[in-house]
A = this chain, B = another copy of it.
Amino acid sequence: MTAEEYRREPPTDDPVQAFVPGHVTGFFSVHPHGDPRRAGSRGAGLALTEGVMVELHRADETAVVLDGEKAEIDAVTRTLDRLGVEARVAIKTPLPVSAGFGVSGGAALGTALAANALFGLTHTENELIGTAHAAEVEADTGLGDVVAQARGGVPLRLEPGAPEQGKLDGISVSNTRVEYVSFGDRPTGEIIGGNVKKLSQAGERALSQLLEKPTLPRFMALSRRFAREADLLTPQVETAIEAVRDVEGEAAMAMLGETVFALGSGLSDAGYEPTVCEIHPAGARLS
């Protein structure tokens, strides 16, 4: 790019790409609110190097394509609606959908960042994160992935909601290998729309205990206890977690999906054939 080109303000006619890390939540509590920017979750999770790539093209009418197939992702169309634009959205991800990796939240956040550049909307990052968060909450597909994916690392969601209201912290970690296996999907809305009192109590307890000593092994242990206390374990998930424990590894269940994630080579050591990635140290960004 020449110096002169930097003087142009957006918009642009070229397609714009954004990358958003995946995110697995280990435990959480639900915090509903009439204003979707104030609704959300508290909890903790891991941002992953495997994530969601979003490419936005100018188009007369909004259309969403996921890994080459036409798709309906409510959080994405709601994000474009909130921004007042129409676009063709091409989403690519190696992550399984509806399995607890934040694909819908990542698609919404990537769409917000890319739309801002494509159309020269001049929103700040907090505003774009808030827009995607609100769209995701209204779509009933997530409560905390967007703000965590915007941050990266090991996000602690101390207070729920978009950046204006929410509050984040993080556990400081070095490069950390993460493995995962997924046994099937589980729609988020079914759980977070139901009776979540026991779940939220368990989530609040886990967060306050993690903050007493915020380390990665403790996050994993508290996540395991949360899945049990919230009655979310399925037989396959429980078996995989136990198998990793048997080889002295750290594993937990991804909320909300039938997915187990482990630190290091936990799942490989236990005889599974997991996908391998790392904790992603950075948040979502234009590429």
Contact = CB atoms under 8 A, between A and B. Distances in A.
Interface of A: 1-10, 16, 113, 116-117, 122-126, 128, 152-153, 156, 163, 169-177, 211, 213-218, 244, 247-250, 262-266, 269, 281-283, 285-287
Contacts of A283: 282
A171 to B, nearest CB: 7
Contacts of A116: 172
Nearest to A112: B172
- The binding surface of chain A is classed by DSSP as loop
Count of this chain's copies in the oligomeric assembly: 2
B250 A7 contact: yes
A214 B123 CA distance: 7
**Shortest 6 CB-CB distances between A and B: which pairs?**
A282-B282, A3-B249, A125-B170, A174-B286, A6-B263, A3-B266
Contact of A287 (B125, B175, B248): B175
A125 B281 contact: no
Nearest to A12: B174
A4 B249 contact: yes
B169 A125 contact: yes
Contacts of A215: 9-10, 122
Contact of A217 (B7, B211, B214, B249): B7
Given A2-B264, A3-B250, A124-B156, 17 more contacts: A2-B269, A3-B244, A4-B248, A6-B216, A113-B172, A117-B172, A117-B174, A122-B214, A122-B215, A123-B172, A125-B170, A125-B171, A126-B169, A126-B170, A152-B282, A153-B285, A172-B285
